[in-house]
């Protein structure tokens, strides 16, 4: 895994707008997303309460354990406010567990697990296998310049169905999982099955920051 940041425009080379982007800080790899967003020219803030959610221009839902995050959304009274903001057009980006939570349908999850219906897609939880089956691969990623994106898959989901209005951004290029959908976008909502925040490649976060600016 390459921990050196891939060359991206420095924050001061980007447009003057510095959007406030929340990182859902209930469980998962929060710190890495905060660092990536700051490097890409956003003002990252932690979101644990409805009033904090109401103050952001966009939201990152990090990787972690999707059913745990689902339960915590309920416990912190964030589930319905988050659904409402997504329906109102708030930009969002979910990685791994975040992709699961943004789905309209989730397979192989607990019957009491909640999801947000931010993207019209069916996602299969833990589709690539257990922790020991984690792997890395280079992906062609639509909308990201500069060559392939190094993708790290850790107990990752994949997309089994993408709705008519959903843009497929990346698929696994080869091997036993060739063709599986691992990155999508619908409007201002983006989801990846992998963890760009752990590789030092900041281009996916840069894409999301630009989406928030445009919104």
Q: Which of 33, 39, 115, 195 is catalytic?
A: 195
pLDDT tens over the chain, length 215 residues: 444 344 444 434 444 489 999 999 999 889 999 999 999 999 999 999 999 999 999 999 999 899 999 999 999 999 999 999 999 999 999 999 999 999 999 999 988 899 999 999 999 998 887 654 567 899 999 999 999 999 989 889 999 999 999 999 999 999 889 999 999 999 999 999 999 998 889 999 999 999 999 99
Res 133: pLDDT: 54
User: In terms of pTM, does the model score above 0.85?
Assistant: yes
Query: Looking at the domain assignment, is residue 99 inside a domain?
Result: yes
- CATH, residue 24: 3.40.50.880
Kindly state the helix (H) or strand (E) to which residue 73 belongs, with its residue range.
Answer: helix 66-75
211 is in an annotated binding site: no
How far from each other are the two terminal CA atoms of the chain, in whole angstroms? 33
Q: The domain containing residue 50 runs over which residues?
A: 20-214
**32 labelled as ligand-binding?**
no
Decide if 6 is inside a domain. Answer: no
Contact 189, 146 (CB under 8 A): no
The pLDDT value recorded for residue 208 is 98
Q: How many domains does the chain have?
A: 1
Catalytic residue among 33, 96, 114, 115: 96
**Is 124 domain-assigned?**
yes
Residue 148 lies in a domain: yes
Task: With respect to residue 4, please indicate whether it lies within any of the assigned structural domains.
Answer: no
Cα-Cα-Cα-Cα torsion 56, 190, 69, 200, nearest 10 degrees, comes to -90
User: What's the pLDDT at 214?
Assistant: 94
Is 96 considered catalytic here? Answer: yes
Residue 82, CB-side half-sphere exposure with 13 Å CA sphere? 30
Residue 50, domain member (yes or no): yes
pLDDT of residue 4: 39
Domain assignment of residue 206, yes or no:
yes
Say how many C-beta atoms besides its own lie within 10 A of residue 206's C-beta.
Answer: 23
* CA–CA separation, 165 and 120 (whole Å): 8
State yes or no: 118 annotated in a binding site.
no
Residue 13 domain flag: no
């Amino acid at each position: 895994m390459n921990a050196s940041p891939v060359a991206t425009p420095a924050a001061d080379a980007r447009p003057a707008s510095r959007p406030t982007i929340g990182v859902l800080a209930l469980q998962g790899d929060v710190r890495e997303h905060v660092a990536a967003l700051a490097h890409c020219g956003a003002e990252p803030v932690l979101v644990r309460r409805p009033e904090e959610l109401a103050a952001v221009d966009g939201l990152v839902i990090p990787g972690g354990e999707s059913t745990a995050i689902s339960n915590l959304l309920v416990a912190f009274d964030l589930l319905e406010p988050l659904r409402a903001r997504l329906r109102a057009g708030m930009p969002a980006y979910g990685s791994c567990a975040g992709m699961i939570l943004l789905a309209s349908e989730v397979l192989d999850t607990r019957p009491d697990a909640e999801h947000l219906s931010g993207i019209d897609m069916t996602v299969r939880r833990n589709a690539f296998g257990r922790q020991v089956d984690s792997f890395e691969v280079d992906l062609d990623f639509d909308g990201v310049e500069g060559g392939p994106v190094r993708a790290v898959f850790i107990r990752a989901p994949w997309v089994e169905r993408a709705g008519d209005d959903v843009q497929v951004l990346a698929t696994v290029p080869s091997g036993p999982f060739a063709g599986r959908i691992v990155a999508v976008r619908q409007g201002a909502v983006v989801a990846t099955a992998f963890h760009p925040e752990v590789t030092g490649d900041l281009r996916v976060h840069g894409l999301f920051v630009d989406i928030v600016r445009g919104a």
